[in-house]
Chains A and B, each alone.
Chain A
């Protein structure tokens, strides 16, 4: 077994890792970086519980290998809140709207929405685009409607043109 050395920059912190090439980004985050907020729900890219931002883009971390991300800037659910612990508007809105029950899919939905709102907060103004975005991930508890409401509400709370820093 040959290990590969790489550096992941996650939520602004550099992690030096030695991993097998086959280690998925999800497992590297969970097992090697100790960031267990990223969940594994299906390991074949359908459920989206493992969604994280890689260089600003929402991706399935179960369908990427950690070695592909050497040098990339990664954000996970643990990096959403402010440095002082203040909840991100999406986090607050998910709670206020009861957009989570068991919470297992929640980090994936949050990162999916965070990436989209940062790229273009206008996504919530277009019902079809919002549906297309949120159809990316699966939730078995909420019936989705509350998730949609939460993302719309959070977009209203974010200041347009001030995307989150790459904390």
Chain B
């Protein structure tokens, strides 16, 4: 490709692919580190109890077992740090190995280390943990009002916040229609194909090399250094290939600290490769909210007020999950201008496994609540759900728009996205088909819509570009690809600015020894924030080169022009390689653009088996607006993948606990993620409203389908069943759920 402007928007095939299709990728479990031992955790089999003791003697006596340690053996273990929101963990410490209490089934109570995972599991089975059971709390609303306290003296509500202003009571009296509903956001398992994994090698100088399947290596470095009294530069974190993350690999999990402690004490490399039984038991789990909504509207369908109460299940420890429902709260009003809004949110500890961000991380919960409610409102008013949405949209001339819950939306054209979705769906055609079926008594179909707004990006990111004497360029980023394809898309950004072929730009990230600082990849932030940082760094590299040439040639810098890797002043010219040969030519940038608010519209057509309640999605349309798209191949893939995960939440996935607080869905025969057979006919389309706050113009992409697909499907099922009350229709929409709701 000739260099330049058309690099942005080019469907370049991924550079990552060649090694991955050959089986030559390198995930943590693929590393061959001399002398490495395997760690396995002894986990609580009770969801809540007093830990009386841990008997490790039999485990220690087994051959090829290097260590079996409980907290008492590793008393210097630092507590797990909170991911955000330190207030929520005050009085609620999370020791990486349980001390005197266990608060979820699966909580680590001891570590065993052996020559391989087989013998380590033998040793695990030889350990006896003595636990006196305590009453188990599994529902956040129940837990908030329970006398049973997980952390005596600290209460079960770890965080409570309000957003917007209390609603004037008169509005409920005077409105033409008021709808109320309760929704449950079920617990989900992230189900990345590669489970969590970490390998720690103690170094002779007292430092550590840590290979880990992670989204935020610099934060993990800070947490490990802080926890173990090391300087940050003594902890070298490397993220090799990562087999998916979806929000579950951003955290500093207790197991990581225990592996660090074990490796240091043994003076040997130790790895922990989580298995699927552990992963499905959690943590992490995602979602887990009880929502109660109330919405008032006038006769024309104008929304007058919206009230949302959330009780969020953050599991046994609030460290990784308490901020997620706050993100839901801030996104509560979605695409609509609503005069009165009030949100009250509680993050509540229970005896489930701790929750954490899961693809969408608060936004799917928000979109589901308001989109289901707007649909219910339209149904009550006897109006078309598209029309009611249009009547309440924030219109393009209203941006930047300050929401009542504290965000400033940058840009958007929600009506346009909806229009494209309705056209792609053939909305009128399906409405006609729906009427025809009803008339002749054929199985009912339903049509559901969702117009979502999400938030992407947050905070700063590091990016740097260096010119090399061989004519190539190196881009460095603080982001951390977990499968998205940064090695392909980030060089596109740099190449576009420099006006060179993308092949001349190579990306380095995911190594704290090379990348001085970084935040990582989550919240759909990589291209919006990290890409924008590289965009600026590349621009500054050109400026630096012009400056240096101006000095070398003794001409005013204004006379030095740059084009396609060549600097020119008058008759003279020099390449970037020439300049780099004269000394390091590099520009570093730390950039914090504002948050962006991608949006879109989804539509679903479903048929519900009238006898058995089984839902068949006949058609799904996804229209997303990510602003400027750098590599459509990659972004399309994000849309498709997230949409199928959204279908999973809508119809199939559900972490199920028994009454004792043990996870019943411990295999993939029970925890059901979609296979190709569950894939409906799907169309993808897009609109483009560039991010006005960055020169690159990109917004976040990657979570949309998890946000847009579930409410569209649920609304379609409610439509098919003609439900006036929808509280019985809770995800996942199993055949039994739909059959029951229709009765």
Contact = CB atoms under 8 A, between A and B. Distances in A.
Interface of A: 1, 20, 22-23, 30-31, 34-44, 46-47, 49, 76-78, 80-81, 87, 90-91, 94-96, 98, 100-107, 110, 131-132, 134-135, 137-148
A143 B705 CA distance: 11
A131 B242 contact: no
A78 B22 contact: yes
Nearest to B280: A42
A46 B673 CA distance: 11
Given A37-B23, A41-B193, A140-B193, 6 more contacts: A46-B667, A78-B24, A103-B241, A103-B483, A132-B677, A142-B640
B483 A102 contact: yes
A110 B637 CA distance: 18
A102 B242 contact: yes
A112 to B, nearest CB: 11
A98 B633 contact: yes
Contact of A102 (B116, B482, B644, B677): B482
Contact of B17 (A40, A81, A95): A95
Interface centre among B20, B24, B633 (most CB of A within 10 A): B20
A121 to B, nearest CB: 19
18 contacts: A30-B30, A36-B26, A42-B668, A91-B21, A91-B22, A96-B13, A98-B14, A98-B637, A101-B483, A102-B193, A102-B244, A102-B483, A138-B673, A141-B483, A143-B637, A143-B640, A145-B679, A148-B676
A44 B22 contact: no
A50 to B, nearest CB: 11
B692 interface: no
A41 B705 CA distance: 24
Given A41-B194, A102-B192, A104-B27, A95 B677 contact: no
Contacts of B659: none
B489 interface: no
B2 interface: no
A137 B241 CA distance: 21
Given A98-B636, A145-B682, A46 B668 contact: yes
Nearest to A134: B676
Given A41-B276, A98-B14, A103-B16, A144 B644 contact: yes
A143 B641 contact: yes
Contacts of B23: 35-38, 76-78, 80, 107
Contacts of A147: 676
A105 B677 contact: no
Interface string B17-36: 11011111111011010000
B271 to A, nearest CB: 12
Nearest to A24: B118
B676 to A, nearest CB: 4
Interface of B: 13-14, 16-18, 20-27, 29-30, 32, 63, 116, 118, 191-195, 241-244, 246, 275-276, 482-485, 633-634, 636-637, 640-641, 643-645, 667-669, 673, 675-677, 679, 682, 705
Going nearest first, the 10 A-B pairs with the smallest beta carbon separation are: A37-B23, A102-B483, A104-B243, A103-B20, A143-B640, A77-B23, A36-B30, A95-B17, A46-B668, A143-B644
Contacts of B17: 94-95, 100, 103
Contacts of A87: 18, 21-22
Contacts of B275: 43
Interface centre among A76, A78, A102 (most CB of B within 10 A): A102
Contacts of B192: 102, 104, 140
Nearest to A105: B193
Given A40-B29, A98-B14, A131-B677, A143 B643 contact: yes
Given A43-B275, A102-B193, A141 B20 contact: no
Interface centre among A40, A98, A106 (most CB of B within 10 A): A98
A94 B21 contact: yes
B18 A103 contact: no
B275 to A, nearest CB: 6
Nearest to B27: A104
B193 A139 contact: yes
B560 to A, nearest CB: 41
B672 to A, nearest CB: 10
Contacts of B242: 102
A101 B641 contact: yes
Contacts of A94: 17, 21
A1 B701 CA distance: 52
A6 B195 CA distance: 30
A77 B14 CA distance: 19
A142 B645 CA distance: 10
A101 B484 contact: yes
A82 to B, nearest CB: 11
Interface centre among A42, A107, A143, A145 (most CB of B within 10 A): A143
Contact of B191 (A36, A91, A103, A140): A140
A49 B668 CA distance: 13
A140 B641 contact: yes
Contact of A37 (B22, B194, B640, B676): B22
Nearest to B117: A27
Contacts of B27: 36, 39, 104
A106 B485 CA distance: 15
B675 A135 contact: yes
Contacts of A77: 21-23
Contacts of A30: 29-30
A83 B718 CA distance: 57
A117 B246 CA distance: 33
A83 to B, nearest CB: 13
A42 B641 contact: no
